Amino acid sequence: MSDAKTVRFLDRTTPPHIGTLILLAGISALSMNVFLPSLPNMTAYFDTEYRIMQLSVALYLAVNGALQILIGPLSDRYGRRPVMLTAIALFVVASIGCIFSPTVEIFLGFRMAQAVIITGMVLSRAVVRDMVPQEQAASMIGYVTMGTAVAPMLAPALGGVLDGIFGWQASFWLLAILGCVTLWITHRDLGETAAAQSASFREQIAEYPELLTSRRFWGYCAAAALCSGAFFAYLGGAPYVGSVVFEMEPATLGVFFGAPAVGYMVGNFVSGRYSVRVGINGMVLTGTVLTTSGMAMALLLFLAGFQSHWVFFGFMTFVGLGNGMVLPNATSGMLSVRPHLAGTASGLGGAMMIGGGAALSAVAGALLTPGSGATPLLWLMVTTSALALLSILYTIRRERVVVG
């Protein structure tokens, strides 16, 4: 579709409205953590152990990562619209299944099925790349991800209020209702944006080495995965640093913990505003420099003896700022290497970020031991940020030598 074509909301003969894309990506983000405050009540309801109930997060993420590898190729072959509509419908069924599950095993099964809504996150990015050129795609993705940054920030508080008034099932009723609304809007607003594929699914699979052998694709993937990996390492280690190292109260820790989210929204705004003017490589390079510089400065201050929660969490805004600039632009780069495989690139890149993030989160938890302080976490974050910087420098050099 041409970016010059007029967009009319709820008219699937025109390109989808950006509000629809934000909704699709936002419900994917919301479903990940809206129910977390209900875990203790759910543990009691199903008469199980808390560690079993926590599998509703781990298993969801595992299926989430696996599905991203499949969603892209399916949408490249059969189209964005049918794959998206099917996924949303399955999500609604899975959400209702969670509500009426009689046992924790059945609940976990439906919870894993809910992960199909990651289709909204994967394909909203692919749809943007279908519609507009590379730099403009980075700009639109920046605005979409800026909007979706709000969902995971507000979701736990919303889930806690719903649980207190209506019980743990309320969060899943919310997801089911939002799923129905999203299904209707998507049906009315999202026309097909992918180019028609004449090849069979097997023939299309045979084209994937064209993407997988592209060094630029892997360069953008590595820059995105490593930069976001610094944030995932923060998620794995910051609760320990705040509660054990700095002895912060839970309410205070909750306020400081959101520091990267503030930077992330600013970074996404900058991406939306300036990606077309600066170019995606310049934005990714700037984002990785900011992240690496911020983490290096925090580490130096800690090594110099300036160890406080103000220094630690204050410099974490650089992680969010860098990610907000890197992820939309690196994602646009991934999707632009082979535009006819944009769905595949979006899914594979997302799976790499989820998998790498989960691994770095675990590493952060293992590095932080009694008496270690926050320094091991800062070293890990400096290292991953620096590797992201090296990845985009390699990608820029590769692009100057040859496209491919």
**Which is higher by pLDDT, 225 or 369?**
225
Interatomic CA distance for residues 76 and 83, integer angstroms:
10
Look at residue 391 in the predicted model and tell me its pLDDT. Answer: 94
Domain limits, CATH 1.20.1250.20, in the chain: 18-205, 208-401
- CA dihedral sign of residues 7, 133, 71, 66: negative
Q: How many other C-beta atoms can be found within 10 angstroms of the C-beta atom of residue 354?
A: 20
Instruction: Give pLDDT tens digits for 2-12.
Output: 444 577 788 87
CATH T-level topology, domain 18-205: Growth Hormone; Chain: A; (1.20.1250)
Instruction: Give pLDDT tens digits for 319-334.
Output: 989 998 998 888 888 8
Dihedral pair phi/psi, residue 16, rounded to 5°? -65, 145
Instruction: Give pLDDT tens digits for 137-167.
Output: 777 777 777 666 667 666 777 887 888 889 8
Interatomic CA distance for residues 265 and 237, integer angstroms:
22
The answer, as to whether pTM is greater than 0.75, is no
Instruction: Give pLDDT tens digits for 13-56.
Output: 777 888 899 899 889 888 877 887 787 788 889 998 877 887 88
Token pair in block for residue 103: 């046992």
Instruction: Give pLDDT tens digits for 340-351.
Output: 777 777 777 877
Look at residue 180 in the predicted model and tell me its pLDDT. Answer: 97
CATH (residue range 208-401) = 1.20.1250.20
